[in-house]
Every structure is written in C-alpha cells, then in structure tokens.
Amino acid sequence: MNRKIYFNTATRERRAAIVENGQVVELLVERPAENRIVGNVYIGRVVNVLPGMQAAFVDIGREKNGFLYRDDLLSFHLSEEADEVKKQRNITEFVTKGQELLVQVTKEGFGQKGPRLSGVVSMPGKYTVYMPEGGYVGVSRRMGTEEERERLRGIGEDLLKENEGMIIRTVCEDAKPEVIEQDLHFLRTSWESVWQEGKEKRAPALIHQGSSLIEKMMLDFSLNQIDEIVIDDADDYQTLKALLAPYSDVHEKVRLYHDKENIFSVFGIDKELDKALRRQIWLKNGAYLIVDQTEALTVIDVNTGKFTGKTDLQDTVRKTNLEAAKEIARQLRLRDTSGIIIIDFIDMKREEDREYVLEAFKRGLKQDRTKTNVVGLTGLGLVEMTRKKVRQSLQASLSKACPTCKEQGSVLSDEAQAYKIERLIWEYRGMDHEAILIELPSAVSAVLAGPKGELLKQLEEATGFRILLMPNKHMPEEAFAIRFMGDLEEAASQLERLKQKKG
C-alpha cells in the first residue's frame, strides 16, 4: 500500500489528510477554539454519584462535567475481588461525592453530553502505551504471528514494575527489547512528573495535555508505514523531523511544501473534503449512495442510479453493491461516522451474493484505525454495524443546519467558512498590493476578525498587507467576495462606498 500524509498547519485551522493508494481516507481537523481534550488528564471532583446508572459526574473545570462509569474507576480496576463479585457491587462502594480523582478524557463531549472519563490513565508512546495502574501486557492484534505476540508479551512482562501495564503497538513487530525499554522509560518518567504535578494541585485542574495533531498522527504510524509526508509550515516541519529523528530515512520522506496555493487544493484533498460533507455520493460506475445522519444513527442507502449493467439484473445488483461496499468503508473513515450505522444495499436474491458483498465490506473496514463491529444482515437485508466514537464527525465539526431550508440540509459553519477565507487570504501573502477588501456574512466576519479584531491583526502581520472586511448580514450562507485588491487608500474608499450602498 502506498500511504502519504499531508499537513496543512500554516493557518489557525490545522488539518491533516491520509491518502492511501491515491484515495483520501481520513481527514483530521484541529481548531484553537475547539480545544479538544481527549487524552487530557485532570484532577477532578465527584459532584454526583448515580447508583441507578452505575456512574458518576466529575467536575474537571470544563463547561460540562465529565461522565465516569463504575467499571472505569481506578478503585474498581484495582479491586482484587473476582469480576463476577465486583460487578454485583454498587458504584457507591467505590467512590463518594466530593472525592478527588485523577481522570483522563477518553471521548469528547458532544451535544448535551459531557466528556467520557476513565480513572485508568494511559500515556501513548511511539512503540507502547504505558498504563501506570494497568496491571497487564497487551499486544496489538494486528501483529503478524502468535509467536511474535508471545515474544513481545514476554519482553513487556520483564520490563514492568508492580501494578504497571502496557500495550505493545504494531510498529514493535521484530523490534529489539531495548527499543521497547527506551520508549517505556520515557513514558514512565513523563508520568511521574504528571503525578507529582497532580499532587500539588487542587481539583478541578488540568495536569497533562493530550498530543497535538502532528504528534497524534506520528504516534499512530511508523515512518516505515509511510511513503511520504508533506507539510506546509516551516516550524512544524522542524517539529516533525525531531519527532522522526530515530529514522535514518526521515529526510527522504518528509518534505516542506513551499508554494503559495493551499496544499490541500494542490493535492485534490479539498475536493474530497467538499464531497464528504454532501448527502449524495456518486460511485465510479454511475450508482450512488445517500447518507443520512441523525442523532440516533446513520443510514446509508445504495442506489443503482445510472448504472444498468451489461448482463442480468442480479449481476448488476452484485456489482453495484460491491462497489458501494468499498466506498462505504472509505466514507466511514473519511467522515468519521460513529455510533449505530444501518446500510441498505440493493436487495440480493442469491445467498452467495449477500455473503460475497458482506465479506468485501468487512475487508474494506480492516483498514480503519477506529474499532468497528459488523453485526450482520437483518431479516430485511439491512447491514447493521457500529463504529466507535473517538471525536466529532466531520459533518458535526465543519457544518451547521441550513437556516434557509428549515434545517433540512446543512451548510458550512461560520467557523469553517472563516477558516476557508483565511486560507484563501494566506495564498496572497507577499503580494505587491497594500490591501485586500472582502465582503462576507457578518457572523463569518466576526469569527475571522476575533472578538477585538486581534485575529485579523495577526493575519495582517503574517501576510504583509491590510485586510479590510465588509460584514453583510444579508449575504447568503457560504458566500463571500473579494471586492478590491490594491492601494490601501483606494481600498478604504471602496469600503466606505460599500457601506453607504448597503445602507
């Protein structure tokens, strides 16, 4: 497999894309305002214990309290009672209201739900995941052979102290013991400093921040699994090289992108991003998918569309469903769709066709780094599956309900539109003109400029020219226009005329 990773980190909205065999399969977006917290470790205070739900709410200093299940409590995990005995006990026997706990965020909050927490903290490294109180050694299931799994498990058991635990990642296959030991030592030392800081703080308080976009991506892949990494920010390029310093071929695989045109535009990633926000997805053979997301579940419908086939009807149906199965597996990764997913393939009369398409779908899902579970076919011929929620879906991150169609559709959110305009402005950096004048929706203008205009000033300093904004509350969603580029005095004059014209 040919795998490339592209980083667009020059502007405030930082983006990464994974491209496998020429197809975009994953898109990750990180914004300063979102402040994603998965991986963060907090000293929290229990504010409510719910015996009926076997859960507790924990104040970690965020807008919404975190949610902690009994089975994720460290006290439950460390209990030496047999599992069948522990599971009969109520959460009140393991935690009390007002108690201070060390907790880690394992899932972002969304909607009215707060973040999911765990008392069993883990520290991800390049080769291992260190769990100070894990109590076991796990080896990646993707490891080649059972013999190699046992070898690595033995190495892990020899390295651990007391109740420590660790997970040995796939990149450790054929690794020497000293490589694993070095990674574990680094993570153990990092944890000790986090633990010491935690003892000096009172709840609620943040004591450790999760990895950045670049760090997360590089933790998930070995450089041996990547053919090329392209990044458009010079500082992040140096950070990336430092992270990958142990690899001898780092200079051959990591490249700094210099051109002014946005890196995602040049490599066709923005086009795939636009498609991933649409309800309808066309397949290469003329068939299409309809994706409907609700709060409860996601439904994907397969339609033959323009594809009529060249032989009999069942052959046409099978080919359409096979093409759809491959694309659905990719779209789930691309859109970061999670929760319950129902797929309505075109009805197949032959049992062997149903089994063939289902197996093809499962093979496509094996490339997914997020846990999936295909339950199977229902009596109505629907495929039921689940995909673990790790973060917000792409649609939830980048779009909002359309205000002009009674919220039946979606449009780019004000934030996504502002960052899109910022990337366009960035392409003009170093130009000869003194100023640029842009007319845009009022809400988008507010995001682009910042509460006191400080973000616009930072952008002007970075690009080297003045940016004049003309907010227009009547401008359609997703619309904007560059009204003038040139002399600053003339740009200001044009802005005044626009204001007078708009009244």
Digit-coded pLDDT (tens) for 341-374: 999 999 888 889 999 999 999 999 998 988 899 9
CATH topology match: 122-207 vs 277-387: no
Annotation: CATH topology of 413-502: Hypothetical Protein Ychn; Chain: A, (3.40.1260)
- This prediction has a pTM of 0.78
Predicted pLDDT of residue 401: 79
On the 0-12 / 13-18 / 19+ scale of CB atoms within 10 A, 127 is: buried
Residue 97 CA from chain centroid, whole number: 33
Q: Which two tokens stand for residue 92?
A: 């009140």
Instruction: Please confirm whether the linkage preceding 204 is cis (ω < 30° from 0).
Output: yes
Provide the token pair at 239: 């950070």
Question: Which two three-digit tokens encode residue 135?
Answer: 């109590």
Q: Do β-strands 288-293 and 297-303 pair in parallel, antiparallel, or remain unpaired?
A: antiparallel
The answer to whether 386 and 375 have CB atoms below 8 angstroms apart is yes
* Amino acid occupying residue 204: P
Distance between CA 5 and CA 228 in Å, rounded? 6
Q: How confident is the model at residue 171 (pLDDT cuts 50, 70, 90)?
A: confident
Which residues, 6 or more positions from 379, have their beta carbon under 8 angstroms from its beta carbon? none
What dotted CATH number matches 122-207?
Answer: 3.30.230
* Residue percentage of the chain with pLDDT more than 90: 49
Question: 252 to each of 63, 155, 219, 244, how far by Cα in Å?
Answer: 45, 32, 19, 12
Domain boundaries, the chain: 3-35+223-271, 38-117, 122-207, 277-387, 413-502
**Predicted local distance difference test score (pLDDT) of residue 314:** 81
* Residues 6 or more apart in contact with residue 402 via CB below 8 angstroms: 408, 409, 410, 411, 477
pLDDT tens digit string along 195-224? 888 888 888 999 888 778 888 888 777 777
Residues 38-97 pLDDT 10s: 889 999 999 999 999 999 999 999 989 999 999 999 999 888 888 888 899 999 999 999
Q: Are 63 and 128 in contact (CB under 8 A)?
A: no
Mean pLDDT lowest for which of 151-160, 286-295, 404-413, 432-441? 404-413
CATH architecture of 277-387: 2-Layer Sandwich (3.30)
Classify residue 110 by its DSSP letter: B
The hierarchical CATH code for the domain 38-117 is 2.40.50.140
